[in-house]
Structure 1
Amino acid sequence: MAQQDTDQRIDGGFLVDTENCEERERAHRERGTVRPITVVGNPVLHRECRDVTEFDDRLAALIDDMFASQRAAEGVGLAANQIGVDLKVFVYDCPDDEGVRHVGAVCNPVLAELPAGDRVLDDSNEGCLSVPTAYAELPRPDYAVVRGQDARGNPIVVQGTGYFARCLQHETDHLYGRLYIDRLSKRERKEALRMMEEGTPRYETVPNG
């Protein structure tokens, strides 16, 4: 095995991803290599990714690269297909609405279906590193639960509220071939793509075509 974090604690059935955030993120980032970001139109973004089946050195190195790439692009979450890798894994370094920082990686994520009574929609703005310089309001539940595996293959459950809940939903969507703009109306999607066309990304991207 490549160097890995010590196993994170589980509390009440949920992964504790709020401890030693700075140290854990820095360790991943310093081992990793920054890769360019794929953008809307790249085929890898528009199909479901493959399940992670090997929890080995290559996966550990990929996660390191993802943390490095996420920091370079100033993102709060990054899915593997956003750096061109067809695998179901995402990383995050994201605050919730209370300002608490969450850092972690999830393989093979599945978003839990919440009872209707537990869903309160938050219609805040959303953006995406793969749709650079564009933003749009998108209603999403303000609480999310994702089940998956950690980098060693251990089962984990991650929960989030507010902005972090949005991040968990957004990144899980990526791994099933869905961008946030796919959830917008045709008019809103067209406007987001116009904003992207007129803007200049602040990080390196992979040209399409």
Structure 2
Amino acid sequence: MILPIVAYGHPVLKKEAEEIDQDYPNLKELIANMFETMYAANGVGLAAPQIGLGIRLFIVDASPFAEDPEEGDDPAEIELLKNFKKVFINPIIEEESGKEWPFAEGCLSIPDIREEVKRKPEVVISYYDENWELKEETYSGFAARVIQHEYDHVEGILFTDRIHPLKRNMLRGKLDDIAKGKIDVHYKMKFFTKKKGR
């Protein structure tokens, strides 16, 4: 089932998400729905807060990054990205290392905005997979970036929080329009409306 993606301005996107246990209701179905939702929106990652759930869960499928390799791209990284489809439950980034590198990021919750974000190129992450097996793995390059972006979501951080404040101010009008639903997207979105008197 395709779920609506929560738009910028919704409080769930700014809250640190909570851990879940193996008894979390309908988890397998939720994961399947998240993949279906992400593919329908042409995304490479989706975190539970983006569908309105404040839980520490995100999914990734970075295979689109492997579709059009450019000259000079690392063949080993391209090979990894081709099959980089994963579920991360209760993730913890243990370490980030290397020299920060810039890349223009976007987000399904913040459509039509792409901005350069600097991130470290290597990440060590521990997490449970969909079978509740505990893993600790190291990723680099685009795989690391996708993980860091989605991990930010479960920490209540958006990529716009990581850009220069001046740049963020310049985007204020666009961001306000997204929050108000004044945006045309090809996928289902959910907008936050404040209750009167609050």
TM over 0.5: yes
> What is the identity percentage for the equivalent residue pairs of Structure 1 and Structure 2?
31
**Structure 1 length-normalised TM:** 0.76
Q: Which residue of 1 aligns with 2:85?
A: 103
| 1:195 to 1:164, Cα distance in 2 relative to 1, 3 A | farther
> Is 1:60 aligned with 2:28?
yes
SS in 2 for 1:67: helix
- TM-superposed CA distance for 1:162, in Å, is 1.6
Equivalent residue, structure 1, for 2:58: 90
* Structure 1 residue 46, shift from structure 2 partner: 0.8
Figure out how many residues of one structure are paired with residues of the other and give that number. Answer: 174
Deviation at 1:199, TM superposition (A): 5.2
- How big is the shift at 1:201? 2.2
**Matching residue's letter, 2:185:** P
Shift of 1:195: 4.3
Q: CA RMSD for the aligned pairs?
A: 1.9
1:206 alignment partner, one of 184, 190, 193: 190
* Greater relative CO, 1 or 2 (CA 8 Å, sep 6+): 2
List gaps (5 residues or longer) in structure 1.
Answer: 1-32
For 1:59-208, list aligned pairs within 5 A: 59-95=27-63, 98-99=77-78, 100-101=81-82, 102-114=84-96, 118-196=97-175, 197=177, 200-208=184-192
The aligned counterpart of 2:196 is none
Bigger mean CA deviation after superposition, 124-133 or 47-56: 47-56
**Conserved in 2, the CA contact under 8 Å of 1:52 and 1:87?**
yes
Query: Could you tell me how far apart the structure 2 residues matched to 1:190 and 1:201 are?
Result: 23
The change in CA–CA distance for 1:84 and 1:205 in structure 2 (over 3 A counts) is same
The Cα offsets for residues 26-80 of structure 1, whole Å up to 9 and x where unpaired, read as: xxxxxxx110100111111110111011256611111001100000010000001
> Which structure 2 segments of 5+ residues have no match?
66-72, 194-198
- Residue pair 2:15, 2:54 contacting (<8 A) in 1 also: no
Question: In structure 1, which of residues 24, 35, 42 is the aligned counterpart of residue 3 of structure 2?
Answer: 35
Task: Please give the TM-score of this superposition, normalised by the length of structure 2.
Answer: 0.80
Write the distance in 2 (CA, Å) between the matches of 1:124 and 1:73: 21
